[in-house]
Amino acid sequence: MHLPRPLLAVLIVTFVGLLNFSIVETSMMAEGSRMLAKYPFVWEMTGAWTFLVPLPLLIFVIERYPIERRKLVRRLGLHIVIFLGYAITHTLLMWGSREVIYAILGWGWYDYGAMPYRFFMEGQKQLIIYVLLYGSLRFWAFVRGKASLERELTEMRLAALKSQLQPHFLFNALNMIASHVQSDPATAGAMLQHLSDFLRATLRASSRHEVPLSEEIAFLDSYLAIMKARFEERLQVAISVPPAVASTLVPHLLLQPLLENSVTHSLSDPMKRAEIRIDARRDGEFLRVTIEDNGPGIGSEILPSGNGIGLSNTIARLRHLYGDEQRLSIANRPEGGLRLVIELPWHTGAAA
């Protein structure tokens, strides 16, 4: 939960005012003073709340005109002028507000003492406040800038990874279509139509790194139509995605390269039919996606660190998007074939 800056400023200065009042009051009690607590309360709270009047200008100047080496003299001079204006204004506001409150409450005349000394006394505290405010705002700007840079770099990495996936699939699909142009023009034409549908859907979501699982399945259907046009009955794919999980967000083009790997390996034996199953389920705060095939499986020397562009890019994208909150595991099935399991944080478009 992020509080609006004005409300946060009010809460902070109120806390500081109450803290100062507590310090003053306990000090007076320790000294045996009989002064009523209402007086130091008004002094400290007016000192805190009147600071809110010049605060927006101070924040604007500090954020807009930070002290830089190239403009050191001009910027330093500007901040000195702004500080002096703030110090004088704040001191006058404290004096004036207390005069008004005393008059309204019938407390008599408020004696602030000799103003030249008051300006000097308050100015020392105000200088510390100004320096702390400047340091806090500049540090926060540095943190935000660093976070923004890291986010932009991550976006660039993700875009580069995704751009590698699309040509990879495109080249493979075009090669398959080319191989059928002369021998089976009808099949080649159907594959071209499905490829066109797939690319159109991909371009519609090209600016997003995540899409609802239902959209990802739609992309997958277009891809499967291309594959089935080529392999016909040799390719059987069962997809189980309950409506309850259809809205959760997944990386765009998550399933297609993984399914392509399964199809390639499962059909490596020309006498065998590929049987692939994709299942999506919610597991607590995670989405679990399982892809199983009846291919040759993997040898012990092949680890899930990413062999081939599809798997390696998928692993890299998952790490960039979710850090340590994701998991991808690969294992041979006892009955033969391969099982790939992906776990992602459960989140929907509304939650995001």
Q: Is the pLDDT of residue 151 over 70?
A: no
Q: Which stretches does DSSP call E strand in 204-324?
A: 210-212, 235-240, 249-251, 274-283, 286-293
Q: What is the mean pLDDT of residues 285-301?
A: 84
The two structure tokens encoding residue 103:
């008059």
Structure confidence at residue 301 as a pLDDT band (50, 70, 90): very low
- What pLDDT, on a 0 to 100 scale, did the predictor assign at position 352? 46
Residues 268/274/275/280 CA torsion (nearest 10 deg): 70
Is 28:40 a contact under the CB 8 Å cutoff?
Answer: yes
Q: Is the pLDDT of residue 108 over 80?
A: yes
Angle between helices 5-30 and 38-49 (to 10 degrees): 150
Q: Which stretches does DSSP call E strand in the chain?
A: 210-212, 235-240, 249-251, 274-283, 286-293, 327-332, 338-345
Residue with token string 């490829």:
195
pLDDT, tens digit (0-9, with 9 covering 90-100), for 123-145 = 999 999 999 999 999 998 888 87
- What pLDDT, on a 0 to 100 scale, did the predictor assign at position 283? 92
Please give the mean pLDDT across all residues of the chain.
84
pLDDT, tens digit (0-9, with 9 covering 90-100), for 35-81 = 899 999 999 999 999 999 999 999 999 999 999 888 889 999 999 99
Nearest Cα to Cα of residue 256 among 162, 179, 175, 156? 162
Q: What is the mean pLDDT of residues 300-310?
A: 48
- What pLDDT, on a 0 to 100 scale, did the predictor assign at position 242? 92
> pTM here?
0.51
Coil, helix or strand at residue 349 = coil
Structure confidence at residue 168 as a pLDDT band (50, 70, 90): low
Is 282:245 a contact under the CB 8 Å cutoff?
Answer: yes
The two structure tokens encoding residue 323:
């850090």
If one compares 232 and 36, the residue with the highest pLDDT of the two is 36
pLDDT, tens digit (0-9, with 9 covering 90-100), for 9-30 = 899 999 999 999 999 999 999 9
